[in-house]
Amino acid sequence: MGLTNRQNVIFKTIVEEFTRTAEPIGSKTLMNLLDFPVSSATIRNEMAALEKVGLLEKTHTSSGRIPSSKGYRYYVENLLETNLDVPMQQTLKTYFTQRHYSIDDVVSKSCDILSEMTNLTSIALGPDCEDQCLQHVQLVPVNEKSAVAIIVTNKGHTENKFFQFKEEVSTDDLKKCTDLLNDKLVGTPICQVVDRMNDIHPIMAATLVRHEVLFEAFVTAFMKFAQDRIKVSGRGNMLFQPEFSDLNRLKELMNVLENGHMIKEWTNKESNVSVRIGNRKELTQIGDCSIISAKFHYSDSEEGQLMVVGPNRMQYSKVVGLMDYMTNVIEDIFYDDKNKGGGNDE
């Protein structure tokens, strides 16, 4: 799309002012925002030209213009400039590097930080359990009524689950249970382990004294393992976005954000419109919603994803800058530098 330099500056200014104020932008407002002299008539002509090519829309309530969905895509692809001030970078890096977090803790905290700093909803997607198989199970006794289960997948992902038993369980039962699970379940896709547990339940009953206690503990653990791939933070932030003042629309969005499977279906619809931002980020538009997503690596074989969900009118430069930094922090902490495909991809 062949815009002039002046049109690009005017359009960029409109997008950034509208995302800040949620108010349609008129020619008089633009005159005060632009750093070069231009008449109100000229601005109106340029805005009409931008509207003609589909980048701006005129509202019914004022003479001002707002960016269209196509306009936001053009802005993100061609005009976006990200910036995260140094003090904020230092604060975020210090927060993570001075504490001994697990990967799940860091991803979860990153999700919380994104929602807090953008006033939008953020989502963290862990590795898909359908691509992972059980490789090893270990039970470490803590005392007679508790133990820690260590579950390892073929992709190198490790989950630690604390079991608090209702009855005392002997170390002999723990060892027999571990041996049985490793013998019968290794190689099973994580999302199918619970079904396979039901198949071996009779063997557990015949082998273990506290078979019901252990069976219930592991079924719960594997179900949680298979489901805990999605974290959502800041759902309530949508209440403060004027675009979602319609209660039915807001209720529909909240229902989606409450359900991990619905989130995946919603974000992967064929009717969605997406554009790439650099090497690993993407803008996806779903009606009046926009999603900025960024991928990161846990390891060579495990990939996760951070998302920020909000109205099409979001502060893209701030959101993208934060996501760039957060995904780089995650990889710096957990992914060997020599295996990374580069840090910031802007």
pLDDT by residue for the chain (346 residues), tens only, comes to 689 999 999 999 999 999 999 899 999 999 999 988 999 999 999 999 999 999 999 876 667 899 999 999 999 999 999 877 787 777 777 777 666 666 677 778 888 989 998 999 999 887 666 678 899 999 899 998 999 989 888 877 777 888 888 889 999 999 999 999 999 999 998 888 989 999 999 999 999 999 999 999 988 888 777 665 678 899 889 888 888 888 888 888 888 887 666 787 888 888 889 999 888 899 999 988 999 999 888 777 677 889 999 999 999 999 999 998 888 888 877 765 435 444 445 4
Alpha helices by DSSP H, listed for the chain, are 5-21, 27-33, 40-52, 69-74, 86-97, 103-118, 171-185, 193-207, 211-227, 247-257, 260-267, 316-334
Which CATH architecture fits 5-79?
Orthogonal Bundle (1.10)
Predicted pLDDT at 99: 61
Please answer whether residues 284 and 291 qualify as being in contact, where contact means their C-beta atoms are separated by less than 8 angstroms. Answer: yes
Helix (H, G, I), strand (E, B) or coil at 61: coil
Whose CA is closest to 121, among 236, 240, 16, 226?
A: 236
Predicted pLDDT at 343: 43
Predicted pLDDT at 92: 76
CATH 1.10.10.10 segments of the chain: 5-79
Predicted pLDDT at 121: 94
Predicted pLDDT at 58: 87
Q: Does the domain at residues 130-227 carry the CATH identifier 3.30.390.60?
A: yes
Predicted pLDDT at 328: 85
CB within 8 Å of 129: residues ≥ 6 apart: 189, 190, 191, 225, 226, 229
CATH 3.30.450.40 segments of the chain: 86-127+230-339
Predicted pLDDT at 127: 65
Whose CA is closest to 112, among 308, 346, 331, 344?
A: 308
CATH 3.30.390.60 segments of the chain: 130-227
Joined tokens for residue 264:
């995946």
Predicted pLDDT at 17: 94
Predicted pLDDT at 153: 86
- Binning the chain into helix, strand and coil, the percentages to the nearest 5 are 50, 20, 25
Q: Is the dihedral of CA 85, 87, 90, 96 positive or negative?
A: negative
Predicted pLDDT at 122: 94
In CATH, the number for domain 86-127+230-339 is 3.30.450.40
